[in-house]
Amino acid sequence: MRMYDIINRKKKGNSLTREEIRFMIEGYTKGEIPDYQMSAMMMAICFQGMNETETLELTLAMRDSGEVLDLSQIPGMKVDKHSTGGVGDKTSLVLIPMVAALGIPVAKMSGRGLGHTGGTIDKLECFPGFSTGLSKEQFVQNVNQVKMAIMGQTADLAPADKKLYALRDVTATVDQLSLIASSIMSKKLASGADAIVLDVKTGNGAFMKQEADAFALAKEMVQIGKNAGKKISAVITDMNQPLGNAVGNSLEVKEAILSLNGLGPSDFMEVVYALGTELVLAAGKANTQHEAEEMLKQTIRNKTALDKFAEFIEAQGGEKTLVYQPELLPAARIQLQVMNTQEGYVAGIWAEEIGLASLILGGGRATKDSSIDLSVGILLNKKRGDLVHPGETLAVIYANDMEQAKEAYGKIVRAYQIQEDAPKQVSMIKGIIR
């Protein structure tokens, strides 16, 4: 079998066999197939596409390029949740303790933030001593004892995807649907959970800007999961403004704790309950959506989700007292109010611009090697649909450098879209693919 022949077949629009796809992925992972040939293949896929069978085989080949976690020592239906990334997305910090408080084991792999989107691991590191560098044995033990654990993605998990994504990133081949879906799903399938719920974001702050593209990606990933024998669903959620009011690691952790105390922003909690309902149903803990949502709400009312979050923080080496005293979490020195200058209603907030403003403050990474300031960020006082008057505060910037704060100020002002008439109410949930 020659890579030249496989490239030529795909270039002409032919379907690749399982053996050809395995040969290609295994050879590239081992360094036997050079970048220039794989680049040609990625471009051929961009032009010719892949069918359902090819996409599944590509996903499974990437999954099998490294270690596949064995979670068989954890009894019950293991669940996992994945977000395609957004601004102010601290969903896992609230959702997972709620689900775990119901006795459903959650075994989650998470990543760090890059660019204008935040990462779950960065947020959790606001707790001194907290670590996601768990051994596989510790990961399994924590899920068994606490019912939840979050681990950083290891180098052994789907190494083909890591290598392939780096190549696609520099060859303008990132945005092909089968390649995006197989990249995400190879890591999810390697993580070992029985049921997966995907949060596919759409809007100006999301990877998928257009709703139709988000639905297409969701359908593609759900089909892969189904064909791989997993229980899977995808919730398409709005990212045309930041989720909740807080953007920035420590600020988002504080908002998550507020949410676990029953004081979460309505747009944020709408997403949390939609995703949580899917997880509870997948685990077989409830028979209807209404029943599942009521069970989740009860974990907030009786504080079992809050206590579960504290237990989880302590189990992974963190200082759990901060869950009950969030004012002790990292705090920035400077607070700068962003003032409104016109009368009207907030029609929208460009989420990506808010994310970039947080990046300017030091709250995100421009590159994988950038260090971040956990204390900085933005608190949004006004959201879509709010009536605003001149002189009112739109947002508060939390910074440790005044020059950075002033630069972020301009971005935040431009991110707010103010109009004369009240905008139509928008649901955070655009649809669910099962």
Catalytic positions: 82, 161, 168, 183, 187
Q: Can you tell me whether residue 110 is helix, strand or coil?
A: strand
Q: How far apart are CA 309 and CA 298, in angstroms?
A: 15
Distance of CA 323 to the CA centre of its chain: 22
Instruction: Give strand pairing partners of 136.
Output: none
By the 10 Å C-beta count (0-12 exposed, 13-18 middle, 19+ buried), 421 is classed as exposed
By the 10 Å C-beta count (0-12 exposed, 13-18 middle, 19+ buried), 287 is classed as exposed
Look at phi and psi of residue 145 and say left if phi exceeds 0, alpha if psi is from -120 to 50, else beta.
alpha
DSSP-derived secondary structure for 388-399: E-TT-EEEEEEE
Which phi and psi (to 5°) does residue 230 adopt? -100, 150
Which phi and psi (to 5°) does residue 62 adopt? -70, -40
CB 220 within 8 A of CB 181: yes
Crossing angle between the packed helical segments 177-190 and 211-227, to the nearest 10 degrees: 50
Half-sphere exposure of 247 (CA within 13 A, CB side): 34
Q: How far apart are CA 265 and CA 382, in angstroms?
A: 12
